[in-house]
């Protein structure tokens, strides 16, 4: 670890959901955005991110349905979600 420089010029910039939406909006096209993780729902403000991106675009979600899916259903227009790919781990849910 000590060989990694403290200043890394190749470090990736982290864009806010607003910046991503603004960039995509600038193309004047509707985009399908694939969101996965790990489990994307564990990320802070994930529902708010989906809300931002679905203002003018569509999303596809990969999830294990372990958390916040009920909130997603209540707060996001289902017409803006093209697919939900779910991995179900029934043995872990008992």
CB of 33 within 8 A of CB of 56?
Answer: no
57-93 tens-digit pLDDT: 999 999 988 787 888 889 999 999 999 998 876 666 5
Domain presence at residue 5 = no
In terms of Cβ atoms closer than 10 Å to its own Cβ (0-12, 13-18, 19+), residue 57 is middle
* Full domain range(s) for residue 22: 17-87
Instruction: Give the count of domains, the chain.
Output: 1
Specify the higher pLDDT residue, 94 or 39: 39
**Residue 22 CA neighbour count, 13 Å, CB half:** 5
Domain presence at residue 66 = yes
Q: How many CB atoms lie within 10 A of CB 68?
A: 16
19-37 tens-digit pLDDT: 999 999 999 999 999 998 7
Domain presence at residue 38 = yes
Q: Report the distance separating Cα 19 and Cα 6, nearest Å.
A: 26
Domain presence at residue 58 = yes
Domain presence at residue 34 = yes
Task: Tell me the average pLDDT across 38-57.
Answer: 91
């Amino acid at each position: 670890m000590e060989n990694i420089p403290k200043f890394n010029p190749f470090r990736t910039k982290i864009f806010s959901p607003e910046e991503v939406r603004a960039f995509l909006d600038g193309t004047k096209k509707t985009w399908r955005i694939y969101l996965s993780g790990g489990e994307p729902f564990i990320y802070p403000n994930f529902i708010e991110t989906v809300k931002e991106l679905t203002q003018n675009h569509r999303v596809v979600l990969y999830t294990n349905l372990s958390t916040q899916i009920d909130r997603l259903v209540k707060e996001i227009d289902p017409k803006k979600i093209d697919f939900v790919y779910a991995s179900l781990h029934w043995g872990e849910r008992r």
